[in-house]
Amino acid sequence: MDKFLELSERVSNFIKEREWEKFHNPKDVAISVSIEAAELLENFQWRDDEEVDKMLEDRNYLNRITEEMADVMVYLIVMSNKLGVNLIDIALKKMEKNEEKYPVSKFKGNAFS
Amino acid sequence: MDKFLELSERVSNFIKEREWEKFHNPKDVAISVSIEAAELLENFQWRDDEEVDKMLEDRNYLNRITEEMADVMVYLIVMSNKLGVNLIDIALKKMEKNEEKYPVSKFKGNAFS
Amino acid sequence: MDKFLELSERVSNFIKEREWEKFHNPKDVAISVSIEAAELLENFQWRDDEEVDKMLEDRNYLNRITEEMADVMVYLIVMSNKLGVNLIDIALKKMEKNEEKYPVSKFKGNAFS
Amino acid sequence: MDKFLELSERVSNFIKEREWEKFHNPKDVAISVSIEAAELLENFQWRDDEEVDKMLEDRNYLNRITEEMADVMVYLIVMSNKLGVNLIDIALKKMEKNEEKYPVSKFKGNAFS
């Protein structure tokens, strides 16, 4: 099976088995995405880019970061399932928009031209 | 091809073609995840659950929300590519942890027992 | 002495005594404001308005919330001191703008008219 | 009058005159603090410390930042008024805790010792 579908179903089953659907209104799930994003950001606080690059060689540090990324991802999937949309499809659609909005000819090498 | 892989490569090519890699240090990408998460949350501000449910029947409102979800997703992929990890794999690994941490027998129907 | 000035100086001395100025570039302080705001928000997660109102009667819950509010406030002051501005003055100035932007005649009872 | 008190009353009157109390449950105000904090952070995105320092000499850039700081501050005051606490008092109390938690002898020059 498609790996993303596998993940999506696993998240869905996790919630169903625990009967947690009742907690998961879209507003609270959006709050969760935001809180997990802040926890991801916390790993970079007070560190400049060089320090971060050096720390990323440490497997424990990398694991803390990927776990927080995973938390954001899981809540995005909870929300997708809630809203009946496919996260990959909406992201592909957004990339199409981005490609039009930022034509290579105009934005090559410059994010703010 | 696997749809997630297609998305992941599309994001990666988008950045390469515009030569934007230089902007994308992990700390700034984490900031972006956080800002996009706040923009997602903004759609739920000052509205109670009932109002949200009613508004979700409006396609324009739903589109605004899915676009913000897509933005969070795209930055998660930028970060994954940057760190050399697979977003689906780390999320599956986290689900395994969650399943152990919250056994059904103890947490069924109750998130805080 | 003016109580806000007392607070502002206390924050300033706290940092000087520990020689922490070197960590406090504006970007990292802005990250801190954002992270503390998320920790404040965490106290309201998965709870509807009624539950929150009931929990606010519990002194421990109220204390957790006011401590997070204090953390946001302290980082706002760190940033003000850093930028050489007075937090009260800029907030008064913003209120003036808000009063013009949202005239009572038009917005009474309706935030989105 | 004490300037903070002046600000606090001005925020309180602003809301009363527009009859906006009904929108301001603590959870939504906490969401607002978080969203305004993200808007503050947005001004620092994709810029390293040197670029920020240089940009801060531009009055327009500084104004954008202080306006977002003001927005965070105003919502903190809305929440304080809602909860019946004094923002300055709770911040002074938190500073007392911080001073105990981070003794100068141990933390001088080092945030993580």
Per-residue pLDDT of chain D (113 residues; tens, 9 = 90+): 789 999 999 999 999 999 999 889 999 999 999 999 999 999 999 999 999 999 999 999 999 999 999 999 999 999 999 999 999 999 999 999 999 999 999 999 887 64
Rounded-to-integer distance, Cα C70 and Cα D92, Å: 8
pLDDT at D109: 87
Average pLDDT over residues C37-49: 96
Prediction ipTM score: 0.95
Mutate to test the interface with D, among B36, B39, B40, B45 (most CBs of D within 10 A): B45
**Six token digits for residue A59:** 């497997």
pLDDT at C113: 46
Q: Is B13 on the interface with D (CB under 8 A)?
A: no
Cβ of A49 within 8 Å of Cβ of D46? The answer is no
pLDDT at D63: 97
**Cα distances (Å, whole numbers) of residue C87 to B6, C16, D74:** 48, 19, 10
Estimate to the nearest angstrom the gap between the alpha carbon of B44 and the chain centroid. 17
CB atoms within 10 A of CB D1: 6
- For chain D, which chains pass the contact test of at least 3 CB pairs under 8 Å? A, B, C
Nearest alpha-carbon partner for B42 in B22, B61, B59: B61
- Contact present, B101 and A67 (Cβ < 8 Å): no
Average pLDDT, chain A: 95
Q: Is C47 on the interface with D (CB under 8 A)?
A: yes
The model's confidence at residue C14, banded by pLDDT at 50, 70 and 90, is: very high
Task: Report which DSSP code applies to B112.
Answer: T
Nearest alpha-carbon partner for D12 in D79, D86, D78, D70: D78
pLDDT at A31 over 70: yes
pLDDT at D1: 72
CA angle A61–A66–A68, rounded 5-degree value: 100
The model's confidence at residue C18, banded by pLDDT at 50, 70 and 90, is: very high
Q: CB neighbours of D54 closer than 8 A, spacing ≥ 6?
A: none
- Contact present, B75 and B36 (Cβ < 8 Å): yes
- Sign of the CA dihedral with A101 first, then A106, A107, and A108 last: positive
D34: closest CA of chain A, how far (Å): 9
Q: Is A31 on the interface with B (CB under 8 A)?
A: yes
Out of C23, C37, C85, the one facing D33 most closely (by C-beta) is C37
Alpha helix (H) ranges present in A43-108?
A: 49-55, 59-83, 87-101, 104-107
Q: Is D13 on the interface with C (CB under 8 A)?
A: no
pLDDT at D15: 96
Q: Is C45 on the interface with A (CB under 8 A)?
A: yes
A113: closest CA of chain C, how far (Å): 23
Residue pLDDT, tens place only, C92-102: 999 999 999 99
- Contact present, A92 and B113 (Cβ < 8 Å): no
pLDDT at A100 over 80: yes
- Contact present, C7 and C77 (Cβ < 8 Å): yes
Output the pTM of the full model.
0.96
Instruction: Name chain A contacts of D49, Cβ cutoff 8 Å.
Output: 48
- Contact present, C53 and D34 (Cβ < 8 Å): no
Q: Is C9 on the interface with D (CB under 8 A)?
A: no
pLDDT at A113: 46
pLDDT at B113 over 60: no
Residue C63 sits at φ, ψ, to 5 deg, of: -65, -40
Q: Is D5 on the interface with B (CB under 8 A)?
A: no
Rounded-to-integer distance, Cα A9 and Cα B88, Å: 12
User: What's the maximum distance between 2 C-alpha atoms anywhere in chain B?
Assistant: 51
Residue D84 sits at φ, ψ, to 5 deg, of: 70, 30
Cβ of D25 within 8 Å of Cβ of C77? The answer is no
Q: Output Rg (C-alpha) for chain A, integer angstroms.
A: 18
